[in-house]
Amino acid sequence: METPQAKDLRLQSYGTLEDTLNSLEGPRMKTRGEQFAGVTVALVTPFRDGQLDVDGLNRLVDWHVEQGTDCLSPVGTTGESPTLDHTEHERVIAAVVERAAGRIKVVPGTGSNSTREALRLTRFAKKAGADGALMVGPYYNKPTQEGYYRHFAAVAEAVDLPIVLYNIPGRTGSNMLPETVARLAEFPTIVAIKEATGSLDQTSQIAALCDLTILSGDDSLTLPLMSIGGRGVVSVVANIIPRDMKALVAAFDAGQTRQALEWHRRLFPLCRDMLGVATNPIPIKTALKLLGRGTGELRLPLCALDRIGEARVRQTLVDYGLLK
């Protein structure tokens, strides 16, 4: 559901995009993974009665095609990949690629704290016809910087598929440093990075050291990160408002910084007040349930919000204009 205010603002962004691009001085600097610029949705994995809900997954893919989402990234953190067994993980990849049928790009999560497993999943994504692979850093192991390098290098050397690195120390327990990212950028198949350190200094260092396409891993930092060279976002909140997030990115790309800032301010409460209620993907699955677009079912150790938490999510959706 899109409010009239949001629609007017989005259409204004799109309506002047071509004229603004034509008026810009000089070409925009290109980065290596431009095919993944824009809005990638970190897709939830729908469950029903404890099992994968493939019909629900197909509906989500169709909806994002209709919304104009640039790319889908299933079986990542938002997709509860740690709770999926190997067969389920591969089934989700195959189902999303098949349903997408070339209508929308698909970059599934294929990372693991086991290099052998990351290799297997990335090979499967390649075989299934994915457009790329999103690879989170090895979690729990806390490798050295050399370990990070060898882990990603092993996959890049073995699988001819564009790779988007994913650095999120809050989940993995350790940080992949900009110098290591720059070393990995020497591999032609490593084309982008999802930066979720929350550090604009680190992002600036990466942009200075290599030409990888940088994508925000935090919804609320999309605009700040784009201001220092980022090219888009891998978004959680875009599970419910992909057009609005895309309008923010399009406005900034068009040089419409004031309009991009308006979108940032409008979206910020969803990113702060809703997504901050509990661990991802609990709030976004709750929102989808309240909007009638999913069961909201999670897998342990994740569990549903209590009454107070759900009321907070509901109120944020009401304030945004998505619910009455």
Q: Which residues are catalytic?
A: 166, 194
Run of H or E residues at 165: strand 163-167
CA distances from 19 to 12, 171, 244 (A): 12, 42, 20
Q: What are phi and psi of 280, to 5 degrees?
A: -65, 135
* Residues 6+ away with beta carbon under 8 Å from 308: none
Distance between CA 133 and CA 75 in Å, rounded? 11
**Packing angle, helices 257-269 and 307-320, rounded to 10:** 150
Please report which helix (H) or strand (E) contains residue 150, including its range. Answer: helix 145-158
Give how far Cα 267 sits from Cα of 135, 219, 242, 293, 318, Å.
Answer: 27, 9, 11, 20, 13
Q: Is the dihedral of CA 261, 266, 272, 274 positive or negative?
A: negative
